[in-house]
């Protein structure tokens, strides 16, 4: 139903299921996709950021209900809805409970850029390394793309962002990470 854009009907069915089952079964789920993942998917596409935050808050009691990938997707959805502060709060809450993975850091980078704080991306890269998560091509590629957006704009920080791209490329070469043509073109 969600794929057919009948999301309101899907929400009704989920509500009916919730009324007839225990909270542990509702949030624990089973199968390919948990109820929490389904709700986050619906609200990320058609909902609003308060609904996303409410689902994440309710599911905290059941840690297996929400994966790091789910949180990252929710963070990206929040950033798209101009609620980048809420996205960063999810990352902060996750850090206090469990360790963040690379997906969470990439989602955090997106959130900072949505708030026009592209320099914070470098802080996240440093934090990533401090937590012994080695930045790979994906992480560097995302950071370069973020800086490229700023560098190709008419903002006062375009020159600084272009310099940052140069530093990121140098760092990638020093780490012997592969550079794609797309990254070189940026």
Would you state the pLDDT for residue 133?
80
Would you state the pLDDT for residue 3?
57
Would you state the pLDDT for residue 143?
85
Would you state the pLDDT for residue 31?
52
Instruction: Give the residue from 77, 90, 15 showing the smallest Cα distance to 47.
Output: 77
Span 9-60, pLDDT tens digits: 888 888 888 888 888 777 775 555 677 777 877 777 777 777 877 887 777 7
Would you state the pLDDT for residue 107?
83
- The beta-carbon contacts of 119-128 under 8 Å, at least 24 apart in sequence, are 121/146, 121/147, 122/164, 128/102
Dihedral of CA 144/148/149/151: which sign?
Answer: positive
Low-confidence ranges of the chain (pLDDT < 70): 1-5, 29-33, 63, 95-99
Instruction: Give the residue from 44, 96, 97 showing the smallest Cα distance to 70.
Output: 44
Would you state the pLDDT for residue 59?
76
| Residue whose tokens read 């509500």 | 15
Would you state the pLDDT for residue 29?
57
Would you state the pLDDT for residue 21?
82
Angstrom distances, CA of residue 139 to CA of 23, 47, 120: 37, 28, 14
């Amino acid at each position: 139903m969600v794929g057919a854009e009948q999301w309101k009907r899907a929400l009704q069915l989920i509500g009916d299921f919730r009324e007839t089952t225990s909270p542990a079964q509702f949030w624990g789920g089973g199968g390919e996709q948990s109820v929490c993942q389904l709700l986050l998917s619906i609200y990320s596409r058609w909902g609003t950021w308060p609904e996303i935050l409410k689902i994440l808050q309710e599911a905290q009691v059941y840690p297996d209900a929400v994966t790091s990938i789910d949180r990252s997707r929710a963070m990206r959805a929040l950033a798209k809805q101009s609620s980048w502060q809420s996205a960063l709060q999810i990352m902060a809450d996750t850090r206090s409970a469990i360790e963040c993975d690379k997906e969470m850091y990439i989602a955090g980078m997106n959130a900072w850029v949505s708030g026009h704080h592209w320099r914070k991306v470098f802080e996240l890269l440093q934090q990533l390394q401090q937590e012994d998560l080695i930045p790979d091509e994906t992480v560097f590629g995302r950071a370069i793309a973020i800086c490229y957006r700023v560098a190709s704009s008419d903002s006062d920080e375009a020159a600084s962002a272009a310099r940052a791209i140069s530093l990121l490329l140098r760092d990638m070469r020093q780490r012997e990470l592969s550079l794609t043509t797309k990254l070189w073109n940026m």
